[in-house]
Amino acid sequence: MAVVSSPDAVSAAVDRLAQAQDQRVPCAPVRDLIGTDDLDAAYAVQQGLVARRLDAGVTVVGRKIGATSEAVQRQLGVDRPDFGYLLSDMDVSHQHPISMRTLVQPRVEAEVAFVLSREIAPQDEADITLDLVRDAVDVALPALEIVDSRIADWDIAFTDTVADNASSGLFVVGREGRPLDEMEPREVTMSLRVNGEERSAGNGAACLGDPLEALRWLAVQAHRFGDPLRTGHLVLSGALGPFVPFVPGDRVEATVSGFAPLVAEFAP
């Protein structure tokens, strides 16, 4: 039987991760507080961290899906996807160069993002089908997610990464989206280069078989948590290949077929 974490344990985990972020000093995993099986507690920690940032004046602009590809699951040592929140201060699409002052142990990955034209909130979870979520997409965009971990050496179990807002950091999205009648997300190919050298490659099928399937999975989870996906929200659907490390001063370029290359330059 799984041990249910106490409110004090959840609060202590929130404090530990928040302090690591504020001080930019990695902390110990939080699984000593919430265990490795209590997903309700892990998501409660995530909610606590997000609430603190909302109190500081940022807003929710969407969601991210993590660990959708087998390659990233192997890198993280987990066996299933999770989700986190995208906040307004995480969007660095228009920063040139991008400041790394909020990052702790960053990595970068390339993926397909979706902008939603309507809320996905049917009364019955069974109604959340692939056709329903496809119809809710306004446009698809190329994206770079700068994932990060407040936990030292990325020593994470599944509850650690969930609690840490699905190991979120920053994100960059392209400026020109395409409607789904002009492209098929599962058929895209991806190349990720750092300073001109290819460091990662993959395709749409690596993301739960189809980035739209990842979106459907997220819509189901959001329905279960009583916080559905909203009109205008951005969804990062998950990596199309392994994430890679980078350092200040690097130039990262993602090429996702069907879109213009997406470039992020990081401040020295």
Find out whether 217 and 208 touch, Cβ atoms under 8 Å. yes
Note the pLDDT of residue 1. 37
Q: Which residues pair with 235 in a beta bridge?
A: 63, 114
Question: Tens digit of pLDDT for each residue in 87-130?
Answer: 999 999 999 999 999 999 999 999 999 999 999 999 899 999 99
What percent of the chain clears pLDDT 90, i.e. is strictly above it? 91
pTM over 0.85? The answer is yes
Inside any domain, residue 51: no
Q: Phi/psi of residue 9, each to 5°?
A: -65, -40
Domain that holds residue 84: 59-265
Number of independent structural domains in the chain:
1
Q: How confident is the model at residue 86 (pLDDT cuts 50, 70, 90)?
A: very high
Q: How many CA atoms lie within 13 A of 31 on its CB side?
A: 16
Inside any domain, residue 53: no
Encoded tokens for 111: 């993926």
Inside any domain, residue 151: yes
For residue 151, the domain's CATH number is: 3.90.850.10
Note the pLDDT of residue 4. 67
Inside any domain, residue 45: no
Q: How many CB atoms neighbour CB 150 within 10 A? A: 28
Mean pLDDT over residues 148-162, rounded? Answer: 96
* CA proximity to 42, closest of 164, 128, 210: 164
Inside any domain, residue 49: no
Give the whole-angstrom CA distance, residue 264 versus residue 104. 18
Find out whether 90 and 168 touch, Cβ atoms under 8 Å. yes
Encoded tokens for 251: 């130039």
Q: Range with the lowest mean pLDDT among 67-71, 199-203, 248-252?
A: 67-71
Note the pLDDT of residue 3. 53
Give the whole-angstrom CA distance, residue 156 versus residue 90. 22
Give the whole-angstrom CA distance, residue 202 versus residue 217. 21
Q: How confident is the model at residue 212 (pLDDT cuts 50, 70, 90)?
A: very high
* CA proximity to 147, closest of 110, 116, 179, 199: 110
Note the pLDDT of residue 75. 79
Angle at CA 142, nearest 5°, toward 154 and 221? 60
DSSP helix, strand, coil percent of the chain (3-state; round to 5): 35, 30, 40
Inside any domain, residue 207: yes
Inside any domain, residue 106: yes
Inside any domain, residue 101: yes
Find out whether 68 and 84 touch, Cβ atoms under 8 Å. no
Encoded tokens for 130: 């692939």
Question: Tens digit of pLDDT for each residue in 166-193?
Answer: 999 999 999 999 999 999 999 999 999 9
Q: Range with the lowest mean pLDDT among 11-15, 66-70, 76-80, 102-106?
A: 76-80
Find out whether 16 and 28 touch, Cβ atoms under 8 Å. yes
Note the pLDDT of residue 113. 98
Mean pLDDT over each residue of the chain, to the nearest integer: 95
Q: How confident is the model at residue 67 (pLDDT cuts 50, 70, 90)?
A: confident
